[in-house]
Every structure is written in C-alpha cells, then in structure tokens.
Amino acid sequence: MPLFVFEWIRSGQKTIELRRGKAKEGSNAVFQCGRNILRGLIVKKEEGNLTGILRQDNFKDIIPSARSLEEATEYLKKLYEKVEGTFTAYCFSLE
C-alpha cells in the first residue's frame, strides 16, 4: 500500500476502502505499509457498480485528496483500468 494511502487511513481521512469484486466474508480490516500495520473493524459493506457506490456524499472518504466526484472517478479509473462490474465499499473504523 502506498505510504500516502496508509497515512490517509491512519489520520482518519479515509474511512472507506473500495475494491473490485463482490464482498468478502469477515469483519476485520488490516492495512499494511512496510512494517507498519493498522487494524480495524469493517462496520458496513456496500456492493454495486462504481457509479452507485462512489457518490457525492462519500467520495472524500474513499479518495481524500479528490476535490470533486469527477476527480475521484478519474483516479479510480486510472487505478483499476476497467471500472465496469461489481465493486465493494468497505466502511471501517480503526481499533
């Protein structure tokens, strides 16, 4: 995980992790960057297409540096290349 993403999580700016695919079982969230580890609890999971999950009310919780929903969408398109299909938003809180 890139250091800046780890820092977003550590500082509480990022509270939703977005992943491609259907929701996985479990309620533990573990984030690792080098030797640094953060542990948390998944409090909610939301499944759907990218445009249904990434919204005006939550894009800053997924990509804190984004200034707009459009900017967050473009960031994710670069990250995932293909944005069709199912995505899962994991809302988490750190322990």
- Residue 24 lies in domain: 3-94
- Render pLDDT for 60-82 as a digit per residue (tens, 0 to 9): 999 999 999 999 999 999 999 88
pLDDT surpasses 90 at 90: yes
Helices marked H in 16-68 — which ranges?
50-53, 59-62
Share of the chain above pLDDT 90, in %: 93
pTM of this prediction exceeds 0.85: yes
Q: Answer for the pair 12, 83: CB distance below 8 angstroms, yes or no.
A: no
DSSP-based three-state secondary structure for 22: coil
pLDDT surpasses 90 at 89: yes
pLDDT of residue 50: 94
CATH number at residue 57: 2.30.130.30
Going by their DSSP bridges, the two strands 28-33 and 36-48 should be labelled as antiparallel
